[in-house]
Structure 1
Amino acid sequence: MIDVIAFLIENFQDADACPPREDLGELLEEVGFDDEEIGDALTFLDVLKHKPLVPAESLRQSTGMRVYCLEELDALPVEVHGLLHFLEQNGALNPEQREFVLNALMSLPYEDITVDHAKVLALLVLWAHKSELPVLIGDELMAALNGEAVMQ
């Protein structure tokens, strides 16, 4: 699924530039992705298109602290917690987007929960919401698509 998301980010300007779901599914099959990966990625895109239960403005104004449950603490590496905290504190992710990334990570097999996968999922949210990022943060997240750091 992460590879499908990376493909979408690299080949389409934003989520609105993607073809309709059926056509996109066919395109992804032609490229060589399997049905399960395609289905998972398209489901995440669908979720991103729906309005949240809590208005985004309320979440942005929230001053509360995110407390992780035991399941999240067990599954998510410390580096992932640090990345999400960094992105939120620097204005790259709002709380709603952070929660999407956390939920997406928690749906992955335990061995697939890595910092690079968290970066790709953060990119997915930002790409789907047409968010602008500071260059250094964008470069660091984009490095996860290629597997190599852009900046030292």
Structure 2
Amino acid sequence: MFEVLVYVYENYWRGDACPELHQLERKLSAHGFEPDEIHEALVWLDGLNVAAENITLPPDTEEAWEADGAEADATSMRVYSVAEQDRLGAECLGFITFLESSGVLPAALREIVVDRAMAAPGDPVPLDALKIIVLMVYWRFGHEPDALVLDELCDDSSERLPH
């Protein structure tokens, strides 16, 4: 499923440029993806679209984007359920917290990331899969993460050496 999502992200720069799901299914099939992978990815993307329809974000500017995240963090605290903790694991929860505290993941988008991570395969969800989920959420809202965030999302952390 994640290979399909990466293909969609790379080939349709913005979520609004992506074709309808039935057209996308044909294009993915023509590209050579397996029917099961395509179906799983399309169901996941449909869930992303449904979740995104219920969210209103500020205008797409870096100042508004970061301000939304900062305001929510100052007045609220997210407590993860036991099911979310088990499914996401410490590594993914730590990464979500890192993105939030950096001001690049507003609370509304954090909830969509958690929702879509809970709907993704893997138990627990691997960090690399969570990074793809975050990219897809940004993509759906037409937000291009800045270079440092994009580097963090696309970097293979398994190659890093701890200090």
Task: Give the TM bin, normalised by the shorter chain.
Answer: 0.7 to 0.9
Match of 1:49 in 2: 49
Q: TM-score, normalised by structure 2?
A: 0.76
CA distance in 2, matches of 1:140, 1:23: 32
**2:138 aligned with 1:96:** no
Q: Spell out, residue by residue over 1:1-58, the C-alpha distance to the aligned partner (whole angstroms, 9 max, x if none).
A: 1111111111111112222222110011122223332233223333333421x6556x
1:124-143 correspondence runs (5 A): 124-143=136-155
Match of 2:78 in 1: 66
CA distance in 2, matches of 1:55, 1:127: 15
CA distance in 2, matches of 1:135, 1:142: 10
Structure 2 unmatched ranges of 5 or more: 59-67
Match of 2:40 in 1: 40
Identity %: 34
Amino acid at match of 1:92: V
Q: TM-score, normalised by structure 1?
A: 0.81
| Aligned residues: CA RMSD | 2.4
- Residues 27-36 or 118-127, more deviating: 27-36
Please give the secondary structure, in 1, of the residue aligned with 2:155.
Answer: helix
Match of 2:30 in 1: 30
Structure 1 unmatched ranges of 5 or more: none
